[in-house]
Amino acid sequence: MKRCDQTDPESRTREIRMSGSMRGEVETRNRQLRSVQSASSHFAYSTDLIEFLAYGGYRKSEAENIRWADCDFDRSEILVRGDDKTGTKNWTVRIVPMVPETRRILERLKAERPHEPAGAKVMHVSECNGSLLTACRKLGIPRITHHDLRHLFATTCIESGVDVPTVSRWLGHTRGNLRLLLSGEKSSGRKAMPDGTKPVPGGWNRIQLPVSDIKAEAARLHAAGVKFRREDIVSGPGGSQIWVVDPSGNLVELFQPK
């Protein structure tokens, strides 16, 4: 996969470096996708749409309305506008990178249909659920849907090293000021508990509440009888934090930035 330069996520895409394990996972997923494509190959147009969705992360209605004029081969970008009347789900226009796999599909289709005007739709079918179901039955694997292909794109991007905010933009997600924070090796969020317990993938997810005076806030909550997951305030490159537990058992991080 490719990603946009982080200083300009909508600019030309560039190849990123993947670790051996990441590359292996991505290759395994690509092999699985090729197996599904092969099993549905007698539905040529559906096979094109399956690939197009998997390598672009579009919603079905968005892929249906991408036209040749939206495909910028020079900049390796695709403009996603959605339906002419209703737009995209979030009423936004966005740019998605044209990764090599997508470029290969588009160049082949362009060669097969050289006289189509710029306003013509790239995909000649609007759905491929039937072909996916048939292919999955042939292969003896769980059913794959249009939306699963969108998830495939997101997962492959993240595993390839693309940051979460960029992938979110490519997918057209809008969640206001909601952010996903990942703890780096030296951050306070990666430090072990007093009992030696260390964070592991998938664990210690929590809500973060920024505060201006973490010592005073911790003292106030202690006096109110709030349960703490860890009693000590820990500091890292970005600031200091301490964890409390809400009445439902969820972790809440009080964070004072530097």
Q: Are residues 195 and 136 in the same domain?
A: no
Q: Are residues 74 and 21 in the same domain?
A: yes
Provide the domain count of the chain: 2
Q: Are residues 130 and 48 in the same domain?
A: yes
Q: Is 189 helix (H, G, I), strand (E, B) or coil?
A: helix
Q: Are residues 98 and 207 in the same domain?
A: no
pLDDT digit string, tens, across residues 120-155? 999 998 888 888 888 888 888 888 888 888 888 888
> Do 172 and 59 contact (CB within 8 A), yes or no?
yes
Question: Which conformational region is residue 180 in: left (phi greater than 0), alpha (psi within -120 to 50 degrees), or beta?
Answer: beta
Q: Is 3 helix (H, G, I), strand (E, B) or coil?
A: strand
pLDDT score of 29: 52
Asked whether residue 29 is domain-assigned, the answer is yes
Q: Are residues 107 and 204 in the same domain?
A: no
Q: Are residues 77 and 134 in the same domain?
A: yes
Q: Are residues 156 and 216 in the same domain?
A: no
Q: How confident is the model at residue 220 (pLDDT cuts 50, 70, 90)?
A: very high
Asked whether residue 179 is domain-assigned, the answer is no
> Which whole number is the average pLDDT over 88-113?
88
Q: Helix (H) and strand (E) counts for the chain?
A: 8, 10
Q: Is 168 helix (H, G, I), strand (E, B) or coil?
A: helix
Token pair listed for 92:
């936004």
Backbone angles phi, psi at 256, to 5 degrees: -110, 110
Asked whether residue 181 is domain-assigned, the answer is no
Q: Which pTM value belongs to this model? A: 0.56
Domain-ending residue, one of 114, 137, 171? 171
Spacing of C-alpha 199 from chain mean position: 23
Query: What does the alpha-carbon distance between residue 90 and residue 169 come to, in Å, rounded to a whole number?
Result: 12
Which ranges constitute the DSSP H helices of the chain? 20-39, 44-56, 60-64, 100-112, 129-139, 146-159, 164-171, 214-223
Q: Are residues 159 and 117 in the same domain?
A: yes
Total length of the chain: 258
- CATH value at residue 213: 3.10.180.10
The residue segments making up the domain with residue 73 are 2-171
pLDDT digit string, tens, across residues 174-190? 655 555 555 656 666 66
pLDDT digit string, tens, across residues 69-80? 999 999 999 999
Asked whether residue 80 is domain-assigned, the answer is yes
Domain-ending residue, one of 139, 171, 203? 171
